[in-house]
A and B are shown apart, each in its own frame.
Chain A
Amino acid sequence: MFKLNLKIAWRNLWKNKVYAAINIGGLALGLTAFVLMLLYINYEKSYDSWSPELKNVYQIREKHDFFTPDNKEHWQEISNSRIAGIIKESVPQFTAVTKIDQEWGNGFSVKIDHADPVMVKGIKDADSAFFNVFPYQFIQGTAANALKEPNTVVIKQSLANKLYGTDHVLGKEFKLVRWRDDTGNSLKITGVIADVNTPESIQFNAVSHTGDQDHDPDQIGSSHYTQIYAKSEGDIDTLSANKSLQKVYVDFKKKSFAAEKLNFKDVYKDGKSPGLKAISLKDVHPNPPFSLNWLDKLKPVIGISIFLLVVSIINFINLATAQSVQRAKEVGVKKVLGAYKKQLILQFLIESTLQSISALFLSVILIEILLPAFNHQFNITLSFWHNEYLFSIVLQLIAVFIVVTLLAGCYPAWILSNYNPVSVLKGNYGNSLKGITLRNVLVIFQFIISVTFIIAIGVMHLQTKYISGKDLGFDRDKLINLRTGYDQNFADKIRRIPGVQYVSTTTQVMGNAFNNKSKIIYKGREVNLNGVTVTMDALQTLGVKLVSGRLFAKEYVQDTINSVVLNEAAAGLLGKNMVGQTYGKVDYQGKTITFQVVGVIKNYHNEGFDKAVLPTVYKVSHLGGTSNTNNLLVRFDTKNYKGVINKIEGEWKKLYPDFPFQYQSMDDAFSEILEENKRFMNMVVLFSVVSVSLSLLGLFALSTFVAKRRTKEIAVRKVLGASNFQIVNLLNKSFLILVVTANLISWPIAYILVKKWLEGFAYRIDLPLYPFLLSSIISIVIAVLTVSIQARKTAIAEPVAALKYE
């Protein structure tokens, strides 16, 4: 029987190829979105799980308010380096403690012998205990001896291969240069460790032991903040360990306050309190100190993908029940031949299993195709077949599959097996429109979501077009940023290269903006402005537009002392005709210095379009100002500046042979700013494609269902003289009402959502009407097309066939 049923199932699928394809395709789509999300969750959950020994590794978190975005206390990943020593001495639960320095800058320069230096990211400086805490597997060298001596480094196999082309690198040395004119450390490679196969919360390519982390700052008043990790021998009671940590921390704080002549109570007031705790390594990734954790961030996406899966299941059910009419006779006959209802239910469940298996396969294929794009989108490396947790993922897939199959198969199976043989065999079945309201509501619901998505895409597209075409207020063509400090000697040298028009620095440029608050007093009123320090020709370099007055120039001696330029935002804040006006500023000694405004420039953008251009005052310092923020701008006067850059690189190599030459064009900086927005938009596009396809499937299912149910009515109408066109219209009308209703509901929803999104931009378009109109037209047109396919089929059918049994 089973074999025969399988055969029947196959023949039925084949006979109804289009439906089967739609049904399976829809389910596969929903499954794909869901499984991608499942993979993502698995990825996030796999953080720091590369070794079972990691369960004994803890991160130490100190509660403090340094380096916080809101100046409030947080449990932070970086702690006072002295704590490591204290834990080693006084908390016996932890047998090994290591300090890891924070990484700073854009990677370090690695120079091997006389080769060109290369930038390497993820070189962490630690003390000698790093491998006592982390159980990395050594391919070369040993965990016990690797970092014993200062000026040693252990590198990952992948980095060894990248740098040397082999992992037999034990004993080799390279020079680590951390900034342009750092003298550098020569490090000896004392170990090579295997790369791990799960993501890590401490990402690194190499661990160096320069010796810097071996001692704490001498003065009690100054502190060094590092990450601290500790390891226990076997399971420990975290609660009691944390109690000991808290106790030694308070003791340490009291002692150091006494040395600094501070009062414990004075420091810890207003709700502040000292705190030190250890959290298990597996809890590090799910609990970032400042931002939302990944699960909270992902919640809306999880919600949407579950919803899409449910929608695809509902569509599956709809189509299956609509199709079930065809199978009614089979059910009736089988019943009089002596089939139990149970057997029939089983048969139809097997059939839907067959379909969902195909859907599953299809979705696995889709996932394989989509994963590279998905990885690129979210900047992660997910894989399906090569997943470390393939087994558990497959188990989850099977679970999803069973749930989906049962959900999708049970109802149609139940409906089918309930057919009454007498009425079925008499030929009158499936004429009831029972359950049509629910189906209508579901279709409306699906269309609301689709239309909202389409509107969102339309508005996002317009806004994206607006910002990418927006005048930035400066000329980003032929302009590069060397991302290094200003050095007069170097600047002079490259100024002499033909093709170079300006060389200058500023603390604020697109891609690297440093905002520095500056309080001024103008006509007795205190105004907060953003202070930017520039070199004499920085504004010319940027190509900003002058509104009134003049830019800084060498001819004016006072320009290096007390001349300022305002942007329009600042000028607007202060008053009209600002050129020539003066204002006062109190310096750190309490004296008031007077500044004179010599020019007003148009606002120019330094950051994303979500932020308004700050009211800014520009001051000259011939050295690039008090804050050197690693910008060295070079403007060219020729389009073909590639060769000029090579010449600059030549000068750079002469001066800084140990640090690679890096630059970013302003065009790239601008694209980077647009990147995040683009990603978000891509995600919306992805979801809307899935959602629109699903709602079309839903509509198709419903129109099939209704057309089937109304076959007799249509036949009678035809006999009475209705034309095919009239009949297609008749069917279309009932669906148009649904789609129009969905449109009416989705307009206000889309309006609210899109408006909220637009409000995130300081520079935005006025909410346009035509994405709304367009999405309505699109949804109506595709709905009519979808329904017409089905309606036409019914309309051109011979009425006799439908009326035969009556």
Chain B
Amino acid sequence: MIQLTNIEKYYANKGVKNYVLRLVTTTINQGEFVSIMGPSGAGKSTLLNIIGMLEEPTYGTYHFMGEDVTSLSERKRIELYRNHIGFVFQAYHLIDEMTVYENIEAPLLYKKVGSAERASRIADLLDRFNIVAKKDLFPNQLSGGQQQLVGIARALAAQPSIILADEPTGNLQSAQAEEIMSLFKKLNEEEGITIIQVTHSEKNAQYGNRILHIADGVVKEDVAVLS
């Protein structure tokens, strides 16, 4: 599904290249649950951003679902966002002026999903995540864990084939974090959604089935998780 070949990312500063990523080559298949791990500044987030097409690599090629997306027009990229990619953020990034319901609805509106379909999908998600009672609240009226649930519900609303999560539990307490990670695992196993997460926590990484260890921009280790 994702094929990265010799991806490099560096910032040139006064003729000196500061490498963030060096010659990253990897393939991620449909249905995998990959955790990217590594120390601060290793380039984890940059790698995730490149996969999410939020950043462009300086060098290398990137195929997403068999298509070269190394440099893509904005229009095409937005089409991918609408149909295939869901983002989950450490800071949740819900829109403060929208209610829970509206936050989940937003991607569907962009995707131009009809109103009946929209209502049923949102109802389904609210139900699944046990947040029906919260649907008319605003993000600042929710706890962090609840906010992240909404964030994930929003990411799922458009029925993406892949979810990209940047430290999804970084701001959460461990009980809530566990809840979120189990949810990810369930989504991966039951619905076959590809998940790529960046995490610091070895424990969280164990929920997935593959770990990419990165240090100083280089993939040091690529190990499968045995369950």
Contacts and interface: CB of A to CB of B under 8 A. Distances in A.
Interface of A: 1, 4, 7-8, 11-12, 15, 329-330, 332-341, 343, 421-422, 425, 427, 805
A343 B111 CA distance: 13
Interface residues of B, number: 29
A7 B49 CA distance: 31
A340 B76 CA distance: 10
Nearest to B157: A337
B97 A1 contact: no
B109 A333 contact: no
Q: Which 8 A-B pairs have the closest CB atoms?
A: A338-B82, A338-B81, A338-B110, A11-B97, A337-B107, A1-B109, A8-B97, A422-B54
A1 B91 contact: no
Nearest to A804: B91
Contacts of A425: 89, 91, 93
A490 B96 CA distance: 88
Contacts of B216: none
Most chain B CB within 10 A, of A12, A341, A421, A805, is at: A421
Given A12-B97, A330-B95, A337 B106 contact: yes
B102 interface: yes
B49 A329 contact: no
Given A7-B102, A329-B96, A330-B97, A337 B110 contact: yes
A7 B95 CA distance: 12
A330 B97 CA distance: 9
Contacts of B93: 329, 332-333, 425
B21 to A, nearest CB: 15
A608 to B, nearest CB: 61
Contacts of B75: 340
B102 A4 contact: yes
A8 B81 contact: no
A341 to B, nearest CB: 7
A333 B89 CA distance: 10
13 contacts: A4-B98, A4-B106, A7-B98, A8-B95, A15-B97, A329-B96, A330-B97, A332-B93, A336-B52, A337-B107, A341-B74, A425-B91, A427-B91
B105 interface: yes
Contacts of B98: 4, 7-8
Given A422-B55, A805-B91, A338 B158 contact: yes
Given A329-B93, A329-B95, 12 more contacts: A1-B109, A4-B105, A8-B97, A8-B98, A330-B95, A330-B96, A330-B97, A333-B95, A336-B81, A338-B107, A421-B54, A422-B54
Interface of B: 49, 52, 54-55, 74-75, 78-79, 81-82, 85, 87, 89, 91, 93-98, 102, 105-107, 109-111, 154, 158
B55 A334 contact: no
Most chain B CB within 10 A, of A329, A337, A421, is at: A337
Contacts of B55: 422
Nearest to A426: B45
Contacts of B78: 335, 338-340
B62 to A, nearest CB: 16
A334 B54 contact: no
Nearest to B154: A337
A632 to B, nearest CB: 77
Contacts of A339: 78, 110
Contacts of A422: 49, 54-55
Nearest to A9: B97
Contacts of B97: 7-8, 11-12, 15, 330
A334 B91 contact: no
Contact of A334 (B74, B102, B106): B106
B82 A334 contact: no
Contacts of B91: 425, 427, 805
A11 B55 CA distance: 32
Nearest to B166: A425
